[in-house]
Chain A
């Protein structure tokens, strides 16, 4: 650090001002989302009003109560099964995508083989195929295989959504770990597998965590394919469940917002917990070819 002429106090003040400015900017950026969160606690009458009601006159948990079927109005959306389905599907597909991705990334980072660049690019480009182009053919295949409306069916799809990015990130990450480390371990009598598992894998933890967060968020929030491939409480996920608040001619927007909060909170907590690894993971991964 260069020594500054500024006094400590004024430097401190500048820091605080910068922090506040950044915080406010983030807040402004979040406003469209915060509006949804706030709406979850307000009655429909107040949310979309003319003239507008800026200061909430009443905040309550009524909308949440309705979802869970408490109180007078037994809406009873099976949010419990949606939540469980979402959790199982998102977690399992993330773990599988990570395993496949670590294997693939390691292969790209540590081996020389024919068609390497081609295979890498091919994997990425396959990911670029829009879901809308895939939805019907995937459905037809899945229905032949009995995978429609099963958690497994959705897990397989989400694994394929997440594998390319995971490989990309992890490939970059492994390249940053000097090959000499694992070679030294192998000289000391470790097998290649042991060297990987004891030395390289722990070092790659951040990269894997970062890839994991992205994979989890993708699966947790995915709607288009889930709405095609799920049908009943056996496999319907939370984003698909949002549509339970719409009927042919009506919508319960406040209820939908309450459900949205239920979707957002776990994702937010996870992101916060993994935050430390996230940046480190993205830093090493990816850039250096």
Chain B
């Protein structure tokens, strides 16, 4: 019976195999996106369901494009993503290189390395909010006890420090993902070119720069692509830590959307912003995917 099915399916096989995946994505993502596109063209208010049927063309979009607060949040989100993802890459690379050198007890160390991945983003938010509390938080308490400062440092209030603190929390939460993927890359690395380079008298930095790093780049882009799929997860922790404040200093697109859509119930306008945030996320992912394809091609040529 299986044989019969197989022959009949040969033509269609790849599509049939992909069907569940495509169906899931269409059902859970594409359909809702169509709905939210529609709502973004209406003055839809959650508490007034009838407003769903007033078509107002692009008024929501025009309104947000004219709103400087929106653009500020937009640019801040891009800056936040760029800084966070690059930092995570750099730190993850360092950790991966270090762990790669360990031969004994590596399994345990790798598990410890992945420890932050066990933390739900909402928990990370509370955790860093209390760590960074200016008055009774552990960070300031430690700095004061060690005599490094006699001030209460406003980690979550100062314009620069607040973004720093949020970025740090995000980096803490997600560096492990980079580290584990880059470590996998190091494991996959063929030994021969390394040996050859050493024999040719290259110093460790040259070996790293010209052999290890290019080999790792596809892994790095995979990690970045995967991370950019999931960056909006940072919303949970920003919402708890600062919720965009104070005075809008840490406002990101996601906090703005959530407040507009749920607190103020202005879902139409929120979905217009959400659409722009979607495009942003998609562009980030696409960018890293392109880089990945390019890096693979480069590797293919080198081999």
Contacts and interface: CB of A to CB of B under 8 A. Distances in A.
A/B touching: CB–CB < 8 A: yes
Contacts of B147: none
Contacts of A113: 14-15
Contacts of A84: none
Contacts of A29: 95, 113, 115-116, 172, 175
Interface string A180-209: 000000000001111000000000000000
Contacts of B31: 137, 141
B3 A191 contact: yes
B17 A134 contact: no
A129 interface: yes
B102 A19 contact: yes
B148 interface: no
B110 A275 contact: yes
Nearest to B40: A133
Given A103-B17, A104-B18, A282-B184, A126 B25 contact: yes
A224 B233 contact: yes
A201 B275 CA distance: 40
A43 interface: no
B105 interface: yes
- B contact patch SS: helix
Nearest to B145: A52
Given A22-B109, A103-B21, A124-B285, A136 B261 contact: yes
A271 B131 contact: no
B98 interface: yes
B64 interface: no
Interface residues of B, number: 105
B133 interface: yes
Given A101-B21, A103-B17, A133-B278, A126 B29 contact: yes
Interface of B: 2-3, 6, 13-15, 17-18, 20-22, 24-25, 27-33, 35-36, 39, 46, 95, 98-99, 101-105, 107-123, 126-128, 130-131, 133, 135-138, 141-142, 145, 172, 175, 180-181, 183-185, 187-188, 195, 198, 218-219, 222, 225-226, 228-233, 235-236, 254, 257-258, 261, 267, 271, 274-275, 277-278, 281-282, 284-286, 289, 293, 296, 300
10 contacts: A22-B99, A35-B131, A101-B21, A107-B14, A124-B225, A129-B33, A129-B282, A133-B277, A272-B111, A287-B222
